[in-house]
Structure 1
Amino acid sequence: MTRRGLLAGALAGAGTLALSACQPSGGSSSGGDAMLTVAAQSDNLTRVFNPYLANTAQGLTYTPQGSGGFIYEPLVQINTVNIGHDLPWLAKSWRWSDGNRTLTMELRSGVKWTDGEPFSADDVVFTYTMLKKNSGLNLLGVDITSVTAPSPTQVVFTFPEPSEQFFTNVVSAPIVSEHIWSKVKDPTKYTDDSPVGTGPFKLDEFSAQSFTLVRNEDYWQPKAQIKALRFVAYKDNESMTNALVQGLADWGGTYIANADKTYLSRSKHNNYWAPLAGTDGLIPNLERWPLSDIAVRRAISLGVNRKQVGAASASPPATSVTGLPMPAYTGSIAPQYKGVDFTQDVAKAHQTLTDAGYAKGGDGYYHKGGKRVEFSVTFPSAYTDIASRVQVLVSQLKDIGIKLTIDTTTVTDINTRTGKGDFDSTMGYPVDSAPRAFSYYNDTINPNLYYPIGKATPTFQNIERFQNAEAAQLFKEYPKATTDAQRQQILDGIEKIFVENLPWIPMFYWGSYGNWSTAKATGFPSPQDPYFSPVPNPVVALRLKPV
């Protein structure tokens, strides 16, 4: 699904563009003095670099699982493009033992914080202990029994249950320093306005409109060849796109409508790539009628034209009825669902509703029990790619007798509302699933993560409030599996429940949008060299070479 992101917000789209021809700006392009300007989305840029608080300046520099660590770094960089090729980072190696209840990680030596203090296993222990004590900061849902440091370069995690399947969540937490953060009285309110990290960049200048990260000259890896990154905040993706098109920004992560004409044709240096990252669709609140009725969900799935919905944001239509993005996950599809794809059948959509006791009213919409089949879809008004898709859905659902209305909110409010269940439907999960088939289902339909309406889901998983006893048991059994065959058998069962219950409605596949200019630097990932996600992140920044 299109991930709104707990820290950085979603990658939304562009509307009408200003296409004035401007020369790239943002810093010198000579040798090691190159500065790149990064277009970032924020409707409230404040000097808060606490990596565990949502909607902050730090959120623009750290997105868990895939782009973590300009300032604060994770133990491992999870590769969401070249799946399975995760990058050892602060941890150089690891191993599981005790039936996947113990994870031992060997750390780098010679790493320093930007204030000169040495990094050690004690910092890792402190970080994860802090997360265990403060569930509100534990955005990735890390569930550990204990974490210890047998030596300055070794950390041992123990878990209450077999937890190898949660590896990507466990190792993606940003590590903070014990010598600074141990003095913080309440880490849930700590602004961290002068952050001290281990990352390749450190904070230099800050204003309400932008901030600059300069190269860490004492970085533990070969230091970045570009001197600085200037993050400029834009309120929505239309203004972000304008900046990229006009050459006012060198790097961004946003959907661009009609990119060939509006962006790529503007300069030979402009590049745009969105590697497949997941599946998106209509996310219902299963505790609100009419989407609580499986007949309504099935009718919607049958009645929509997925090609048109996806085309509204230049996204390919979802195909597999399992919801897993294809063809990347072909090997994870249950035998009975291989090659079984969604098909539009408007007549069957109508029949599904009438068979369930619905009848067309004089207003052209179906009714039941004196109520019209009507619901709203909630999303931030700044997410113009979602707005484009929803406009298509409004028309398509009207054709099958279902009324869809639009309920827009702000970027800072959307996760709060969906987390508490204050919505009829939405689009885009507020979590970044790791590239594992199990993770998609665990994040979206694990009944063991159910919270009643009004009580916020702490990790924003299962926001549609799906409940199913058989599924709950399968999710409990999966961690206990010891072979790939056993894991796949359980996954097959979860897929069957998904197909039969349709807890959310897949409609199209989404990518990690990356936009960049090679006028000042080269070395970005591409379809020809897909080494990592093209969105602004430190893994790529460290490979860039000034022109």
Structure 2
Amino acid sequence: MYLPKWDRKSTVFVAGVAAAALLFAGCGDAGGAAKGKAAGGESRITVFNGATGTIAENFNPFSSTALQPARGIIYEPLFYYNLMSSGDPKPLLATAFEWNKTGTQLTVTTRSGVKWSDGKPFSAADVAFTFNMIAKTASINTNGLAATAKATGANTVVLSFKKTSFVAGPSVLGDTPIVPEHLWKSKDPATDINQNPVGTGAYSVGSFTPQSYELKKNPAYWEPGKPQIDKVRYISLASADAATSALLAGEVDWMSSYFPGFDGLMKSKKELSYVNTPALTTSLFACSNAKLGCKGPQTDPAVRQAIYHALDREQLNKLAFSNVAEPPSPTMLIPGRDDKWISPAVPAKTATAPDTAKAESLLTQAGWTKGSDGIYVKDGQRLSLTIQVVTGWSDFISAIDAMTQQLRKVGMEIKASQVSWNEWNSKELKGTYQLSLNSIGLGPSTDPYFNYEGKYSSKNTATVGQNASSNPSRYANPAVDAAIAAASQTNDDAEKKKQYAVIQQHIARDLPYIPVVIGSTLTEFNNSRATGWPTQDNLYSFPASWKSWDNGIVLKTITPVK
């Protein structure tokens, strides 16, 4: 179950409980997991984070194929940014930071008394080494970090940037794993799989097999009394169906998956609980820019606007998302969490009911005329569109089935194309698609800059046939580019709001990404072996079992059931 870079959540289906029993029979000590105890009476939980098939050993936190616990559980960042809150970041390996007035220098105070899991002391020199190593190694510099670092004391490091870089703060402070200089100075950070990772995190690697691996708690962890769970086992399952079966059979303690009828099935098991944390805007990505080579009716803004108004989101929620989705915003932000950033000049939320009259009016005003078969036509081109979706993403497939009927009512023909994840991803990157159902969200912090810069900046796209780094819609708007650039140069929220209002005005009209719903992110827990999981009333972290950084917070917060 692979998670694309824009964080499409995984989906799971219901299967027989017997399948889980057979599956776990081949995965080692299932009995120990069921009892919540490892050898010697130690506490233990089992996590499914979406892995299927053979697990490839790689604990290099800079690698694109690193095992997820490398980031947050084994290696830690300087601060933790909770995507469920707009509050200040939580200190981890650092206790304070301060920008200079021009945003070209960031001074960080590192935490005293921290040790690496091999017993060596952690210091500001390790932080400086990490950032300098990233700056020198282009292949691991995924955030585009342009900074050099210098330790000016045992607990002080200064990062220097070539230009104003206030917006780099969350990436630098909350999305960079800090590694030990004494070990990494002799590693190739681009290729080393780091088989025996030494970090500052709450856990280190205990054992590893291609079917599962186990983490053991770090007895010298810097935060007193944490962690309390002795061992954490990560497993690979044969299929998505088996994950639900494993949860219901009591073989998994933590996973994040949607499955039809989840509410009733969860209620049938008193030891199970779940939280729903909508944070991803399920959207129709449109290859929108004809000048860059996109082809099809979706390159007409009126068509994208008509789709936006014709969708019956209440019906979609009921038929495809088990009534746990929420209305999205044309700003592509999350209503409630992001209210302070949403301009009053743009609707904060989409309507849940369709406006078919508005949709057809937009089409006729743009020169589309209805053909004898009820489908609109313009310049000899029928308004026929193909939506691609990954085979097996059941909620998305159901949503497209419903959209097909909804959009037919306003004279659009919709065809679904189910493809493998690799093909789906490749078509988006290369622009060889018309519409693609996907999700947007989860930057390094809740600042809208990260989504706006990634998805809407013309710097992040390319002509059709070439890979677009993060703007697969091929959207290019000089006014939006200018507002993104202006927002990047300030640390003043009032000025950011001004620039974001400009962006929102344009993207709500142009709709290169058409918001459908704010999709659910369902996370399930077994409370018979551990307690203290995030709840709807206490979202101290984004709880998804596949989410790096947040996992480290969850695992050091939960406690064993006595």
Scaled by the length of structure 1, the TM-score of the pair is: 0.89
When structure 1 is superposed on structure 2, of 397-406 and 528-537 the one drifting more is: 397-406
Query: What is aligned with 1:390?
Result: 400
Query: What is aligned with 1:381?
Result: 391
**d(CA) in 2 for partners of 1:246 and 1:522?**
18
Correspondence 1:12-161 to 2 at 5 A: 12-19=10-17, 26=33, 28-29=35-36, 33-44=42-53, 45-56=55-66, 58-59=67-68, 61=69, 68-139=71-142, 141-161=143-163
**d(CA) in 2 for partners of 1:255 and 1:326?**
22
Gaps of 5+ in 2: 22-29, 546-550
Query: What is aligned with 2:321?
Result: 313
Query: What is aligned with 1:214?
Result: 216
What SS does structure 2 have at the residue aligned with 1:202?
Answer: strand
The total of aligned residue pairs comes to 532
> Is 2:356 the partner of 1:346?
yes
Query: What is aligned with 2:365?
Result: 355
> Is 2:540 the partner of 1:541?
no
**d(CA) in 2 for partners of 1:513 and 1:535?**
8
**d(CA) in 1 for partners of 2:433 and 2:527?**
42
Deviation at 1:100, TM superposition (A): 2.1
What SS does structure 1 have at the residue aligned with 2:337?
Answer: coil
Correspondence 1:98-497 to 2 at 5 A: 98-139=101-142, 141-171=143-173, 172-185=175-188, 187-222=189-224, 223-234=226-237, 236-262=239-265, 264-287=266-289, 288=294, 289-311=296-318, 312-314=320-322, 315-337=324-346, 341-342=350-351, 344-361=354-371, 364-411=374-421, 414-429=424-439, 432-433=442-443, 434-457=445-468, 460-481=469-490, 483-497=492-506
What SS does structure 2 have at the residue aligned with 1:532?
Answer: coil
What SS does structure 2 have at the residue aligned with 1:92?
Answer: strand
What SS does structure 1 have at the residue aligned with 2:345?
Answer: helix
> Is 2:527 the partner of 1:506?
no
**d(CA) in 2 for partners of 1:110 and 1:47?**
31
**d(CA) in 1 for partners of 2:239 and 2:424?**
15
Residues 190-244 of structure 1: CA deviation (Å, up to 9, x unaligned): 2223322221111122222211111112222233111111111235543322221
Q: Is the 1:111–1:119 Cα contact (8 Å) retained in structure 2?
A: yes
Query: What is aligned with 1:65?
Result: none
**d(CA) in 1 for partners of 2:460 and 2:171?**
15
**d(CA) in 1 for partners of 2:263 and 2:349?**
33
Q: Is the 1:47–1:193 Cα contact (8 Å) retained in structure 2?
A: yes
User: What amino acid does structure 1 have at the position aligned with 2:501?
Assistant: D
What SS does structure 2 have at the residue aligned with 1:427?
Answer: strand
Q: Structure 1 residues 439 and 517 mapped into 2: Cα distance closer, same or farther (>3 Å)?
A: same
Residues 75-118 of structure 1: CA deviation (Å, up to 9, x unaligned): 11110113214211111211111322221111122322223333
**d(CA) in 2 for partners of 1:447 and 1:422?**
18
Deviation at 1:267, TM superposition (A): 1.6
Deviation at 1:284, TM superposition (A): 1.3
> Is 2:536 the partner of 1:527?
yes
Deviation at 1:125, TM superposition (A): 2.5
Q: Structure 1 residues 212 and 227 mapped into 2: Cα distance closer, same or farther (>3 Å)?
A: same
Deviation at 1:259, TM superposition (A): 2.0
**d(CA) in 2 for partners of 1:6 and 1:116?**
35
Q: Is the 1:91–1:106 Cα contact (8 Å) retained in structure 2?
A: yes
Deviation at 1:272, TM superposition (A): 0.8
**d(CA) in 1 for partners of 2:206 and 2:440?**
30
What SS does structure 2 have at the residue aligned with 1:190?
Answer: coil
**d(CA) in 1 for partners of 2:360 and 2:31?**
54
Q: Structure 1 residues 164 and 241 mapped into 2: Cα distance closer, same or farther (>3 Å)?
A: farther
What SS does structure 2 have at the residue aligned with 1:118?
Answer: coil
Q: Is the 1:309–1:317 Cα contact (8 Å) retained in structure 2?
A: no
Residues 128-179 of structure 1: CA deviation (Å, up to 9, x unaligned): 233333333233x243232222223222122233322332222211222333
User: What amino acid does structure 1 have at the position aligned with 2:303?
Assistant: V
Q: Structure 1 residues 70 and 14 mapped into 2: Cα distance closer, same or farther (>3 Å)?
A: same
| Identity in percent | 27
Q: Is the 2:305–2:509 Cα contact (8 Å) retained in structure 1?
A: no
User: What amino acid does structure 1 have at the position aligned with 2:14?
Assistant: T
**d(CA) in 1 for partners of 2:422 and 2:126?**
30
Residues 273-327 of structure 1: CA deviation (Å, up to 9, x unaligned): 0223242211112232222210110111111111222331234342543232212
Q: Is the 1:6–1:54 Cα contact (8 Å) retained in structure 2?
A: no
Residues 249-275 of structure 1: CA deviation (Å, up to 9, x unaligned): 01112223322212x223212111022
Deviation at 1:28, TM superposition (A): 4.3
What SS does structure 2 have at the residue aligned with 1:26?
Answer: helix
What SS does structure 1 have at the residue aligned with 2:386?
Answer: strand
Scaled by the length of structure 2, the TM-score of the pair is: 0.86
Q: Is the 1:380–1:408 Cα contact (8 Å) retained in structure 2?
A: yes
Q: Structure 1 residues 528 and 90 mapped into 2: Cα distance closer, same or farther (>3 Å)?
A: same
